């Protein structure tokens, strides 16, 4: 018995569907690559001098953070010098160090741990602390993802603050910092 | 010189991973539902002791005459020809668990309300097996007390379903809803998982039991695990949604459970139907819950507070608004800062 062929998928729908599929696929693949890439960072920081840059000195932390924030809010417009000049031992200012540690050692790991859990949902405990484990995992995943995207926008903007707006972008390509 | 105190951030990651491992170790017991296991979930165990308090039932004494044989897997009677007591096995299909009956919707009925009073004599007369068996509409049609169950619409949906179209009149309501043990579930049970098992058991009773399946068709019973091979995370899907979510046509807002079972070619096969912002599941599995809380807490609260989360469908409005505001704030802040930097150069 032959049935009439049904035209169910107009061209715009097929296009949208294909793009959607490709993007979802990219999200999954990039998530996996992000995890592997993180290992490079983690191991690198564990065994090289670079790890020192991510150690936060607890004493006087808040005053240093405030000092840097004040610079970005006011000093930068009046031509003040940055309060924490960049050196080989101190390549991050206090705000940078603080935010980098939270992103790289908290939010990124949360994203890939919850991401892999969502990729294999039957590994997620059904009930955690009286509420759905899947729901919690989902929430942690999107909140962390959101924080990371906000960080990315802010990070790229702050990179324009340098000798000239393009200087820091050049630095991360060739490895050399241009002094102010 | 004072010793500097450093926090080593690598520890954060190690603690995080440890926490995850501990969480996972906590609950690994939730075994996914298997097709074949589900079939046995509702089957009455023979010879079980009656646990229901029978004193509250005025029909209990009368019904006990029937249950003394039909409530268990064996019965005994006096063979007057041979002048001795005889033990016989009761056919599985004729066993009704009193425990299940007295918690079912029809628990206040006497057996003889529906069956001939002539059954009171033993051995039962042969012609009694030809007696007419009432269906739902015989009692519930046009009854205002039952209007909110929409029996007439359910019947119309059923008549248009493959169950009715492909099979003879032998396929009645009772094929799925045994009147002796049927109890309303979707609107009374707060545990969605139990409702899922309950409803799927109804389907699997025939679709995973070759003997029952064969009663109505000559076809080979299809292998459900193979025919659902395309479904990612098959086990999780089976444990988390009901067969009817994909295999029925979503109709109006009235009847709670859809009864128009579609031919398998028309079953939902598109992930997006559930995993999107306006999922089919809201119209079926979470229908009652959604109807109940929609007025009070807004449309999506029902799904976010339930113990089931559908990836891609569960939405949290508050979180959406917070993230939008934060994002807009960041963009505006950067724009403002950039403008000042250019002006003050």
Proportion of chain B above pLDDT 70, given as a percent: 75
Number of domains making up chain B: 2
- Cα dihedral angle (B334, B337, B342, B345), rounded to 10 degrees? -140
Asked if residue A75 is part of any domain, the answer here is: yes
The pLDDT assigned to A5 comes to 85
Cβ of B27 and A133 within 8 Å? yes
* B270 and A CB contact within 8 Å: no
- Phi then psi for B78, rounded to 5 degrees? -90, 120
Q: Could you tell me the two tokens for B35? A: 């097709």
Proportion of chain A above pLDDT 70, given as a percent: 95
Mutation target among B13, B30, B277, B331 for the A interface, most CBs of A within 10 A:
B13
Instruction: Indicate whether B303 pLDDT > 90.
Output: no
* Domain finish residue from B269, B298, B328: B269
Instruction: Note whether B77 and B147 are same-domain residues.
Output: no
Average pLDDT value for residue range B150-164: 86
Cβ of B7 and A56 within 8 Å? yes
Instruction: Note whether B169 and B189 are same-domain residues.
Output: yes
Instruction: Note whether A74 and A26 are same-domain residues.
Output: no
**Could you give the CA distance from residue A179 to residue B2 in angstroms, rounded to a whole number?**
31
* Domain finish residue from B245, B269, B293: B269
Question: How close, in Å, is residue A1 to chain B by CA atoms?
Answer: 15
Residue among B197, B153, B195, B203 at smallest CA distance from B289: B195
Nearest beta carbon to residue A122 from set B17, B236, B304: B236
Q: What is the pLDDT of residues B98-141, one digit of tens each?
A: 888 998 889 999 999 889 989 988 889 889 988 888 888 888 88
Residue among A178, A64, A160, A146 at smallest CA distance from B337: A160
Asked if residue B239 is part of any domain, the answer here is: yes
Average pLDDT value for residue range B35-56: 61
Asked if residue B65 is part of any domain, the answer here is: yes
Instruction: Note whether B240 and B230 are same-domain residues.
Output: yes
Average pLDDT value for residue range A141-162: 92
Instruction: Note whether A92 and A22 are same-domain residues.
Output: no
**Could you give the CA distance from residue B101 to residue B60 in angstroms, rounded to a whole number?**
11
Instruction: Note whether A30 and A81 are same-domain residues.
Output: no
Asked if residue A156 is part of any domain, the answer here is: yes
Average pLDDT value for residue range A143-167: 91
Instruction: Note whether B143 and B260 are same-domain residues.
Output: yes
Cβ of B311 and A76 within 8 Å? no
Question: How close, in Å, is residue B21 to chain A by CA atoms?
Answer: 10
Instruction: Note whether B149 and B125 are same-domain residues.
Output: no
Chain A CB contacts of B233 under 8 Å are 121-122
**Could you give the CA distance from residue B23 to residue B27 in angstroms, rounded to a whole number?**
7
Domain boundaries, position B71: 43-131
The pLDDT assigned to A103 comes to 92
Asked if residue B305 is part of any domain, the answer here is: no
The pLDDT assigned to B288 comes to 58
Tokens 């990070």, residue located = A155
Instruction: Note whether B262 and B145 are same-domain residues.
Output: yes
Cβ of A56 and B6 within 8 Å? yes
Residue A103 CB-half CA count within 13 A? 18
Q: What is the pLDDT of residues B191-205, one digit of tens each?
A: 777 788 888 888 888
Chain A CB contacts of B9 under 8 Å are 54-56, 101, 104-105
Tell me the residues of A at the B interface, defined by beta carbons under 8 Å apart: 42, 45-46, 51, 54-59, 72, 76-78, 101, 104-106, 109-110, 113, 118, 121-123, 125-128, 131-135, 138-139, 142-143, 146, 150, 153-154, 157, 160-161
Instruction: Note whether B174 and B108 are same-domain residues.
Output: no
Instruction: Note whether A20 and A86 are same-domain residues.
Output: no
Cβ of B308 and A132 within 8 Å? yes
Asked if residue B301 is part of any domain, the answer here is: no
Distances (CA, A) of A51 to A41, A43, B14, B184: 9, 9, 15, 62
Asked if residue B120 is part of any domain, the answer here is: yes
The pLDDT assigned to B263 comes to 87
Instruction: Note whether A43 and A71 are same-domain residues.
Output: no
Nearest beta carbon to residue A58 from set B5, B16, B24: B5
Asked if residue A52 is part of any domain, the answer here is: no
Q: Residues B198, B203, B207, B212: is their CA dihedral positive or negative?
A: positive
Chain B CB contacts of A134 under 8 Å are 308-309, 311
Asked if residue A1 is part of any domain, the answer here is: no
Domain boundaries, position A28: 8-47
Band (pLDDT 50/70/90 cuts) for residue A61 is confident
Cβ of A132 and B307 within 8 Å? yes
The pLDDT assigned to B31 comes to 47
Instruction: Note whether B142 and B232 are same-domain residues.
Output: yes
Tokens 């102010």, residue located = A180
Residue among A41, A12, A126, A42 at smallest CA distance from B309: A126
Asked if residue A81 is part of any domain, the answer here is: yes
Taking CA atoms, what residue in B is nearest to A77?
B344
DSSP track, A66-112 = HHHHHHHHTGGGTTPPPSS---SS--S-HHHHHHHHHIIIIIHHHHH
The pLDDT assigned to B33 comes to 43
Q: What is the pLDDT of residues B333-345, one digit of tens each?
A: 999 999 998 887 7
Asked if residue A67 is part of any domain, the answer here is: yes
Instruction: Note whether B138 and B98 are same-domain residues.
Output: no
Average pLDDT value for residue range A57-81: 88
Instruction: Note whether A32 and A91 are same-domain residues.
Output: no
Instruction: Note whether B140 and B123 are same-domain residues.
Output: no
Average pLDDT value for residue range A9-35: 89
Tokens 């340098």, residue located = A162
Chain B CB contacts of A161 under 8 Å are 341
Tokens 């041979």, residue located = B82
Average pLDDT value for residue range B225-237: 84
Number of domains making up chain A: 2
Lowest-confidence region among A102-111, A145-154, B4-13: B4-13
Instruction: Note whether A138 and A92 are same-domain residues.
Output: yes
Instruction: Indicate whether B165 pLDDT > 70.
Output: yes
Average pLDDT value for residue range B12-26: 75
Mutation target among A126, A140, A145, A160 for the B interface, most CBs of B within 10 A:
A126
**Could you say which DSSP state residue B84 is in?**
E
The pLDDT assigned to B253 comes to 58
Nearest beta carbon to residue A55 from set B8, B20, B27: B8
* The residue count for chain A: 180
Instruction: Note whether A86 and A155 are same-domain residues.
Output: yes
Q: Could you tell me the two tokens for B135? A: 């269906």
Band (pLDDT 50/70/90 cuts) for residue A1 is very low
Proportion of chain B above pLDDT 90, given as a percent: 7
* B223 and A CB contact within 8 Å: no
Q: Helix axis angle, A133-158 relative to B317-343, nearest 10°?
A: 10
Instruction: Note whether A88 and A42 are same-domain residues.
Output: no
Asked if residue A78 is part of any domain, the answer here is: yes
Cβ of B6 and A127 within 8 Å? no
DSSP track, B231-257 = STTHHHHHHHS-HHHHHB----SSSSS
Instruction: Note whether B181 and B258 are same-domain residues.
Output: yes
Instruction: Indicate whether B45 pLDDT > 70.
Output: no
Taking CA atoms, what residue in B is nearest to A144?
B323
- Cα dihedral angle (B197, B218, B261, B271), rounded to 10 degrees? 70
Instruction: Note whether B118 and B153 are same-domain residues.
Output: no
Chain B CB contacts of A126 under 8 Å are 27, 30, 307
Asked if residue B314 is part of any domain, the answer here is: no
| Mean residue pLDDT across chain B | 77
The pLDDT assigned to B335 comes to 94
Instruction: Indicate whether A25 pLDDT > 50.
Output: yes
Proportion of chain A above pLDDT 90, given as a percent: 29
Asked if residue B60 is part of any domain, the answer here is: yes
Among B35-44, B66-75, B138-147, the range of highest mean pLDDT: B66-75
Instruction: Indicate whether B331 pLDDT > 90.
Output: yes
* Domain finish residue from B87, B114, B131: B131
Asked if residue B21 is part of any domain, the answer here is: no
Lowest-confidence region among A56-60, B111-115, B281-285, B322-326: B281-285
């Amino acid at each position: 018995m032959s049935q009439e062929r049904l035209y169910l998928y107009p061209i715009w729908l097929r296009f949208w569907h294909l793009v959607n599929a490709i993007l979802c696929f990219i999200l999954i693949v990039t998530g996996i690559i992000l995890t592997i890439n993180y290992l490079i960072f983690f191991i690198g920081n564990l065994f090289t001098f670079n790890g020192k840059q991510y150690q936060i000195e607890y004493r006087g932390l808040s005053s240093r953070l405030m000092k840097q924030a004040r610079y970005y809010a006011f000093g930068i417009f009046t031509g003040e010098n940055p309060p924490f000049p960049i050196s080989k031992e101190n390549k991050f200012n206090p705000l940078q160090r603080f935010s980098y540690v939270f992103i790289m050692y908290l939010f990124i790991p949360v994203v890939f741990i919850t991401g892999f859990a969502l990729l294999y949902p039957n590994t997620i405990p059904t009930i955690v602390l009286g509420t759905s484990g899947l729901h919690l995992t989902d929430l942690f995943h999107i909140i962390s993802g959101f924080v990371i995207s906000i960080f990315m926008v802010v990070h790229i903007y702050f990179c324009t603050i340098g000798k000239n707006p393009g200087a820091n972008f050049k630095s991360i390509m060739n490895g050399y910092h241009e002094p102010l | 010189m004072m010793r500097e105190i450093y926090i080593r951030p690598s520890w954060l990651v190690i603690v995080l991973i440890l926490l995850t491992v501990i969480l996972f170790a906590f609950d690994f017991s939730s075994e996914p539902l298997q097709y074949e296991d589900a079939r046995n979930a509702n089957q009455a165990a023979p010879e079980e002791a009656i646990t229901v308090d029978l004193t509250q039932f005025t029909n209990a004494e009368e019904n006990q005459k029937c249950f003394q044989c039909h409530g268990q897997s064996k019965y005994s009677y006096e063979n007057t020809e041979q002048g001795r007591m005889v033990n016989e096995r009761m056919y599985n299909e004729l066993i009704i668990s009193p425990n299940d009956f007295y918690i079912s919707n029809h628990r206040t009925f006497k057996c003889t309300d529906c069956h001939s009073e002539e059954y009171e004599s033993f051995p039962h007369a042969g012609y009694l097996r030809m007696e007419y068996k009432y269906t739902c509409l015989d009692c519930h049609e046009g009854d205002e007390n039952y209007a909110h169950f929409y029996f007439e619409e359910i019947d119309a949906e059923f008549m248009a379903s493959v169950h009715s179209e492909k099979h003879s009149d032998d396929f009645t309501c009772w094929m799925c809803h045994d009147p002796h043990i049927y109890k309303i579930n979707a609107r009374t049970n707060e545990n969605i998982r139990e409702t899922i098992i309950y409803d799927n058991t109804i389907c699997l009773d025939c679709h995973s039991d070759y003997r029952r399946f064969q009663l109505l068709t000559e076809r080979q019973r299809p292998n459900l695990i193979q025919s659902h091979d395309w479904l990612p995370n098959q086990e999780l899907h089976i444990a988390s949604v009901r067969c009817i979510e994909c295999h029925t046509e979503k109709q109006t807002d009235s009847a709670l459970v859809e009864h128009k079972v579609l031919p398998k070619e028309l079953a939902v096969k598109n992930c997006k139907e559930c995993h999107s912002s306006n999922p089919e599941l809201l119209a079926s599995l979470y229908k009652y819950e959604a109807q109940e809380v929609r007025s009070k807490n807004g449309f999506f609260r029902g799904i976010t507070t339930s113990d089931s989360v559908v990836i891609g469908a569960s939405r949290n409005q508050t979180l959406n608004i917070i993230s939008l505001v934060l994002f807009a704030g960041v963009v505006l802040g950067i724009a403002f800062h950039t403008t000042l930097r250019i002006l003050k150069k």
